[in-house]
Structure 1
Amino acid sequence: MLRKLLWWLVIIGLLASLPLAFFREQTEKSANQVEFVFDYRDLLEMADVRPNPQGFVSEQLQAMKKAGIGSLAVYESTLSELRLSRRIEVFSSKDATSLTQKPISPNENFTYILFTDPASESQIKPMIETAFNKLGVKTSPWSFKNQAGMIIEMNMEEANMKPMDPDPITLQMMKDEGFRIVVRLGNKREFVTNEMDALLAKLYKLGARRIIIDGDYAPGYSDDPEQVTLHKMGILLKKYDMGLANIEMLKQPQKGFGSLAKDTDYNVVRLHSFTEKDGEKLTENLTKEDQEARIQQTADRFVLAVKDRNIRMLFLNGRAVKNLDKAAILTPLDSLYESLNGKDGAIKRIEDAGFKVGPAKQFDYTYNTYQNVARFFTLIGGVSLIVLLVGYFIPEAVLALFIIGLLGAAGLFFKSPDLYAQGLALACAISAPSIAVIEAIRSIQSGRAAKAKSAVLYALGLLIKTTLISLIGVVYLVGLLNHISYFLVLQQFRGVSLLHLLPIALVGLYLLFFRETLNYRERGERVKKLLSTNISVLWIIAAAAAAGVIYYYLSRTGNEGQTSAIERYLRSFLENTLGVRPRNKEFMLAHPLFLLGAYLSVKYRNAVYLLLIGVVGQLSIVDTFAHLHTPLEISGIRITYGIVFGAMIGLVLIAVWEIASRSWKAWVAKSRTRVNG
Structure 2
Amino acid sequence: MTHFKYNRVLLVLIMVGLLAALTIGWQRHQVEENNTTVELIMDYEDVVELAQVEGVPVQRLLAQVKAAGITSLAVYETTLEKLNKSGKVTAVSGAQILHQQRLGTLSDPAWGSLVEAGSIKSEDVYITGQDQAVFAEVKSDLIRRLDDERVTVLYAGNRQVLAVKASFEKVEKWNLGLPTDEMQEVVSQGFFVVARPTNYTKVQAEDVQAVFDRLAPIEQVSSIMFVGDEILGYPDAVAVTANYFKQRQLTLAMIEHPLQLQFVKQEGLMQLAAANQYQAARVYVIPKDEQPKLKIDEAVQRWVVTDQERNIRMNLMRKYDKPEAGKTLIETNLEYISRVSQALKEAGFTIGRAGTYQPFFPNSWLLALICVGATAAGVLYLTLLRPFAAKYQYLLLVVIAALLAFPLIKGSGMLVRQAVALTSAIIFPVLAMTWQLDRWKQITAPNASLLRIIGIAIPSLAITLALSIIGGFYVAAMLGDVRYFLEMEIFRGVKLTFVAPLLLISLSFLVRYELFKTAPGESRNIWQQAIKILDFPVQIKTLLVFGAAAVAAWVFVGRSGHTAGVPVPAIELKMRAFLEQVMYARPREKEFMIGHPAFFLAVMAVYRQWPAALLYGLVVLATIAQGSLVETFAHLRTPIFMSFVRALDGLAVGLIFGIIAVLGAHILYYIAFALGRGTAKHE
Fold match (TM-score > 0.5):
yes
Q: Which amino acid aligns with 2:129?
A: F
After superposition, the Cα gap between the structure-2 partners of 1:133 and 1:471, relative to the gap in structure 1 and judged at 3 Å, is: closer
How far residue 393 of structure 1 moved from its aligned partner, in angstroms, is: 2.9
Tell me the CA shift for residue 332 of structure 1: 7.1
Change (3 A) 1:658 1:423: same
Closer, same or farther in 2 for the Cα pair 1:515/1:387, shift >3 Å? Answer: farther
2:307 paired residue number: 306
Report the alpha carbon displacement of residue 187 of structure 1 after superposing the two structures with TM: 2.3
**2:204 equivalent to 1:208:** no
Where do 1:25-36 residues align within 5 Å?
A: 25-36=29-40
State the match for 1:458 in structure 2.
456
Counterpart in the other structure of 1:169: 181
SS of residue matched to 2:607: coil
Distance of 1:632 and 1:484 partners within structure 2:
13
Residue 147 (structure 2) pairs with residue 134 (structure 1): yes
- Identify which range, 594-603 or 389-398, moves more after superposition: 389-398
Question: Which residue pairs with 2:76 in the alignment?
Answer: 75
1:242: how far off? 0.9
Matching residue within 572, 584, 587 for 1:582: 587
Q: 1:332 to 1:503 in 2, by over 3 A?
A: farther
Corresponding letter in the other structure for 1:435:
L
* Residue identity in the other structure for 1:304: V
Q: For 2:150, what is the secondary structure of its paired residue?
A: coil
Specify whether residues 204 and 19 from structure 1 end up closer, same or farther in structure 2 by C-alpha distance, changes over 3 A only. Answer: farther
> Against the structure 1 CA distance between its residues 665 and 373, is the aligned structure 2 distance closer, same or farther, given a 3 Å change threshold?
same
Matched, 1:340 2:354: no
What is the aligned partner in structure 2 of residue 114 from structure 1?
128
The alpha carbon displacement at 1:280 in A equals 3.7
Q: What is the DSSP-based 3-state SS (H/G/I as helix, E as strand, rest coil) of the residue aligned with 1:61?
A: helix
Match of 2:422 in 1: 426
State whether residues 138 and 152 of structure 1, in contact with CA within 8 Å, keep that contact through their aligned partners in structure 2.
yes
Q: 2:375 maps to what in 1?
A: 383
Q: Could you tell me how far 1:33 is from its partner in structure 2?
A: 1.4
Give yes or no for contact 1:193–1:232 (8 Å, CA) kept in 2: yes
The answer (yes or no) to whether the contact 1:219–1:233 under 8 Å persists in 2 is yes
1:538 is displaced (CA, Å) by: 4.0
CA contact (8 A) 2:200 2:233 kept: no
Equivalent AA in structure 2 for residue 473 of structure 1: G
2:137 is matched with 124
Q: Which amino acid aligns with 1:69?
A: I
Q: Which runs of structure 2 are paired with 1:206-245 in the superposition (5 Å)?
A: 206=218, 207-222=220-235, 229-245=237-253
Mark the runs of 5 or more structure 2 residues left unpaired by the alignment: 107-111, 516-520
2:354 pairs, out of 326, 336, 360, with 360
Letter matched to residue 480 of structure 1: M
**1:671–1:281 Cα change, 3 Å:** closer
Partner letter of residue 195 of structure 2?
Answer: V
CA distance 1:211–1:22, change in 2 (3 Å): same
Aligned residue in 2 for 1:525: 528
Match of 1:436 in 2: 432
CA distance in 2 between partners of 1:114 and 1:196 (Å) = 26
Quote the residue 2:518 is aligned against.
none
Q: Kindly provide the CA deviation profile for residues 169-192 of structure 1, in whole angstroms up to 9, marking residues without a partner as x.
A: 111111112121001133234433
Shift in alpha-carbon separation, 1:125–1:629, aligned structure 2, 3 A: closer
Pairing partner for 2:497 from 496, 499, 507: 499
1:177-226 CA-to-partner distances (Å, cap 9, x unmatched) read 2121001133234433355345325425411131112122222222xxxx
d(CA) in 2 for partners of 1:549 and 1:375? 37
Question: Using the alignment, how far apart are the partners of 2:546 and 2:411 within structure 1?
Answer: 43
Query: Corresponding residue for 1:286?
Result: none
Counterpart amino acid of residue 602 in structure 1:
Y
Whether the 8 Å contact between 2:502 and 2:620 is mirrored in structure 1 is yes
Q: 1:275·1:316 contact (CA, 8 Å) conserved in 2?
A: no
Is 2:484 aligned against 1:486?
yes
Task: Summarize the alignment of residues 465-484 of structure 1 with structure 2, pairs less than 5 Å apart.
Answer: 465-484=463-482
One-letter code aligned to 2:436: A
| Alpha-carbon offset, residue 663 of structure 1 | 4.9
Is the 2:41–2:72 contact (alpha carbons within 8 Å) kept by the matching residues of 1?
A: yes
> Which residue number in structure 2 is paired with residue 291 of structure 1?
none
Describe the SS at the equivalent of 2:203: coil
Give the Cα separation in 2 of the matches to 1:331 and 1:558.
41
What one-letter code is carried by the residue in structure 2 that aligns with 1:390?
A: L
Deviation at 1:132, TM superposition (A): 4.7
Over 3 Å counting, the alpha-carbon distance change for 1:125 and 1:531 in structure 2 is: closer
Q: Does 1:409 align with 2:421?
A: no
How far off its partner does 1:380 sit? 0.7
Q: 1:135 to 1:548 in 2, by over 3 A?
A: farther
Letter in structure 2 aligned against 1:210: S
Q: Output the CA distance in 1 between the equivalents of 2:513 and 2:394.
A: 21
In structure 1, the partner of 2:555 is 552
Residue in 2 aligned with 1:288?
none
SS at match of 1:494: coil
Question: How far, CA to CA, are the matches of 2:129 and 2:121 in structure 1?
Answer: 25
Deviations 1:115-159 (A, max 9, x none): 2444533x4344245325537423223559x87542211111332
Which sections of structure 1, spanning at least 5 residues, go unmatched?
A: 223-227, 283-293
| SS state at 2:316 partner | strand
Residue 617 of structure 1 corresponds to 625
Q: How many residue pairs align between the two structures?
A: 643
168-177 or 541-550: bigger deviation: 541-550
| Cα 1:170/1:107, change in 2 over 3 Å | closer
**Distance in 1, Cα, partners of 2:54 & 2:580:** 43
Q: State the alpha-carbon separation in 2 of the partners of residues 69 and 616 from structure 1.
A: 43
Q: Structure 2 counterpart of 1:311, which letter?
A: I
Aligned to 2:599: 594
Q: Is the 8 A contact 1:426 1:495 kept in 2?
A: yes
1:608-628 CA distance string (max 9 Å, x none): 321211111111111212111
- 2:266 and 2:145 map into 1 onto residues whose CA distance is 27
SS in 2 for 1:187: coil
Q: Distance in 1 between matches of 2:508 and 2:669?
A: 30
* Residues 480 and 465 (structure 1), Cα distance of their counterparts in 2 relative to 1, 3 Å cut: same
Deviation, structure 1 residue 95: 2.4
Amino acid across the alignment from 2:37: Q
Relative distance call for 1:501 and 1:566 in structure 2 (3 A) is same
Alpha-carbon distance in 2 for matches of 1:172, 1:139: 29
SS of 2:568 mapped into structure 1: coil
Q: Which letter does structure 1 place at the counterpart of 2:252?
A: L
Give the counterpart of 1:350 among 344, 347, 360: 344
**Structure 1 residue 400 displacement after superposition:** 5.3
Whole-angstrom CA distance in 2 between matches of 1:229 and 1:448:
73
Quote the sequence identity (%).
Answer: 26
> CA–CA distance in 1 between the matches of 2:169 and 2:328?
27
What per-residue deviation string (whole Å, max 9, x for no partner) do you get for residues 636-677 of structure 1? 2222121111111211222233344345545656776x579x
Contact 2:278 2:358 (C-alpha < 8 Å) held by counterparts = no
Q: Which amino acid aligns with 1:352?
A: E
Code of the residue aligned with 1:86 in structure 2: it is: G
Aligned to 2:195, what secondary structure does the other structure show? strand
TM-score when normalising by structure 2:
0.85
User: Retained in 1: the 8 A contact 2:41–2:71?
Assistant: yes
Contact 1:182 1:212 in 2 (8 A): yes
SS of 1:361's equivalent in the other structure is coil
Aligned 8 A contact 1:35 1:313 in 2: yes
1:566/1:20 Cα in 2 relative to 1: closer, same or farther (>3 Å)? same
> What letter is aligned with 1:158?
K
Cα 1:85–1:503 shift into 2, 3 Å: farther
- Following TM superposition, by how much is the alpha carbon of 1:448 offset from its aligned partner in structure 2, in angstroms? 6.2
TM-score by length of 1: 0.86
